[in-house]
Amino acid sequence: MNGLRAEIWSRLAGEIEQVPPERREKARDLVTMAISLLCEDIEEAAPWDATKVAAARTMGNGCAADGWPLDQVLELLGRAGEETVAALAAAPGTTTGRLKALAETCNRFLRELLRGYQETTLAVVSPRSAAHDEAVALLRGTAATDQGRFAPAYAVMAFRTVSSSTVDESAFGEPGTGVLAALCEHGGYVLIPAGDEETGFARCARLHASLPDGTWAGVSWQKTGRLPVGRAEAAEVVTAALAARRPPGCYLLGDVLVEYAVLTQRPVADLLVAKIEPITRNEVLLETLRALLAADGNRSKAAAELIIHRSTLDYRLQRIEQLTGYDPTSLRQLHVLSTALTAHEATTTPPPPLPLEDTGS
């Protein structure tokens, strides 16, 4: 799989270089995530679950929010799909069934990407409340904050849900409470007045409890003049929580520090991903590693959770060591494997959409 991805990258390098410089790094990230999503289902045409749908729509959301013309987005990411199919077709031993499965995955990816793009652009032209416009201005740093209209500080809650239920502003309290929201179909930001981080997080946690099941939220408390910083941090917290397969919940940066560090140190993350990739392509070994991590390294507990004999577990752990060079029975080396697995999730899971729509002003 490493060789296939390298071949796809070589085919797309020229396309990425044609992207305007200010968008080139973002284009590289989008293509990386697209290749990862497309390559996951090469072995079999597995149905896309809610998380994969959310990932593709997230990419569309982000492109629309950044102002990329739709034709440019479809050309770049559509080309990523075409080159992925071409690279697989040239690989020895590729069957017609595998090519057909990948083509179906590419079509599904582009459909969901388009829906995500439209989700955001349609929101732009629909009527929005004054509270929405104020939230967008504060999060972008374009609001006049010296006129006494806003609270001195806010807890910024970024959230993303994979539930089919939509969320509207009525979920965040009655008008006049000072709570502001900027929402898209399945995510958004909420600004909650709070004098300190503890109070702000408690209020966010209560609001999170009223959101649909399957919702992840990140919280950052900031003085009003620093809300754009809070927006970025809260979104990174959501991404880190999703990447680390944390359960749906409400998180602060301190809850996902390791995951956040991986996200912000891409060269280190790439090295870790290379180490763990042989395991991510073996469902049994991946399940075994996750069970051992969940058991804090306790092999007896992990074997019981997997309903396998201890000797079977030990054999699988030996295979993990052979493939990665790290011994999962060593707590120190198990920690490296855990971080590498987080890096894999972080670099193959797109961030939540959470777009800041243009409001027509």
- SS3 call for 91: coil
pLDDT at 61: 76
pLDDT at 105: 78
pLDDT at 42: 56
Judge whether 130-256 and 265-348 match in fold: no
Q: Domain 130-256 falls in which CATH fold?
A: Alpha-Beta Plaits (3.30.70)
pLDDT at 357: 45
What is the sign, positive or negative, of the torsion defined by CA atoms of 270, 49, 64, 132? negative
CATH architecture of the domain with range 265-348:
Orthogonal Bundle (1.10)
Q: Count of CB atoms within 10 A of residue 116's CB?
A: 28
pLDDT at 201: 94
pLDDT at 266: 63
pLDDT at 361: 35
Burial grade of 12 (CB within 10 A; 0-12, 13-18, 19 or more): buried
DSSP 278-345: HHHT-HHHHHHHHHHHHTTT-HHHHHHHHT--HHHHHHHHHHHHHHHS--TTSHHHHHHHHHHHHHHH
Of 281, 263, 226, whose CA–CA distance to 352 is shortest?
263
Domain ranges for the chain: 2-125, 130-256, 265-348
Residue ranges for the chain with pLDDT beneath 70: 1-3, 40-48, 65, 119-129, 165-166, 168-169, 173-176, 185, 243-244, 261-268, 346-361
pLDDT at 2: 54
Q: Using one digit for the tens of pLDDT, what is the confidence trace for 133-159? A: 888 888 888 888 777 789 999 999 989
Task: Confirm whether pTM is higher than 0.85.
Answer: no
